[in-house]
Every structure is written in structure tokens, then in C-alpha cells.
Amino acid sequence: MASLIETLESAIRTIPDYPKPGIEFRDITTLLGNARAFRRAVDELVQPWAGSKVDKVAGVEARGFILGGAVAHQLSAGFVPIRKKGKLPHDTVRIAYSLEYGLDEMEIHKDAILPGERVILVDDLIATGGTAEAAVRLMQQIGADVAAAVFVIDLPDLGGAAKLEELGVPVRTLVSFAGD
């Protein structure tokens, strides 16, 4: 039986020079389409919190929705979508954050997380950490206790996981691709 890392790495497609020359894009759509790899990834993301109190799982649009929904199901927790500005239909709280090429904004429903609820943030990949850091700050703004942030992929050379840990949020990643 292949190790977890071998299973996941072999299921992740690397697309060179996307979205610009010199970038190696790590595409998890191939992992999501591989039932065995998808199941192992979800099981590993859930494992540290199985049996503990997790009220909500928050997923960042869009791959974080897929992974976060599966993690929430396994933990018997609610799911909270964090979306780009203008996509949620009810009263929202918004935060602006920096991207490599400018600014963006994300939102969460004001009533999605009650003050003090324990939440785990889920997304497919952490790189520079800008999106994840904004998501953590957004949830904290409405009173969430962000217990952890979990990702399938870490690009450690870009420092995103360290940014979250500086905020006091433990980070769990399943595979790392150095040099990206």
C-alpha cells in the first residue's frame, strides 16, 4: 500500500507556467477525481479533530468548499462558505486582502458563526497565506474561535503557514512542494 504522501503527490497534477511563466500550478482536481486519494486526504484532514468539539468548518471558495464540505460531514459539524465579494445573499461581513497582483475582498454571512464557536478553516493549498490570513481575521471579526487551518498542499518557501501560526492558528498540511 502506498504511503499517504505518495498517494496524494501522485494524484496532484502539476501544470508548468500557469498562470504565468515560472509558476508550477498544483492542481487538485485530479486528486478530487481519484476516489482513493480524495478519501485519504479528507480522512487525514479530519483525523486530529475526530471526537473533539468542532462547531463549524469554513471553506474558502472554491476548492475549499469541496474539501470543507467533506470534512464538515466527517466531523458532524456545520459548513460555512467564505466567498468573494457580492456572492452571498444575506447580511455579510467583508475583509479586503492583498493578492500577488492587487487587492480582493471576501465575505461571510454575519450570522454564519456564533461568538465562541470552534471553527476549522479548510482550503486546498497554502502559499503566501494572504487568503487564509484574511479568512481567519474575517472569522475572528464575528467571534469565531479558529481552532486550526488545514490544507492538502503547502508551498513552504512562500511562508503562508508561518503567517497563520503567528496569528496563533495551528496549521496542518498533508504534502509539501518545496521550491514553488
Cell of residue 158, nine digits: 512562500
Catalytic residue among 6, 24, 100, 165: 100
The residue written with cell numbers 502539476 in the block is: 14
Q: Is 100 annotated as catalytic? A: yes
Residues 65 and 72: their CA atoms lie apart, in Å, by: 10
Q: Is 166 annotated as catalytic? A: no
Catalytic residue among 63, 107, 117, 133: 63
DSSP secondary structure letters along the chain: ---HHHHHHHHSEEEET-SSTT-EEEE-HHHHT-HHHHHHHHHHHHGGGTTS---EEEEETTHHHHHHHHHHHHHT-EEEEEEETT--SS-EEEEEEEETTEEEEEEEETTSS-TT-EEEEEEEEESS-HHHHHHHHHHHHTT-EEEEEEEEEE-GGG-HHHHHHHTT--EEEEEE-TT-
Q: Which residues are catalytic?
A: 63, 100
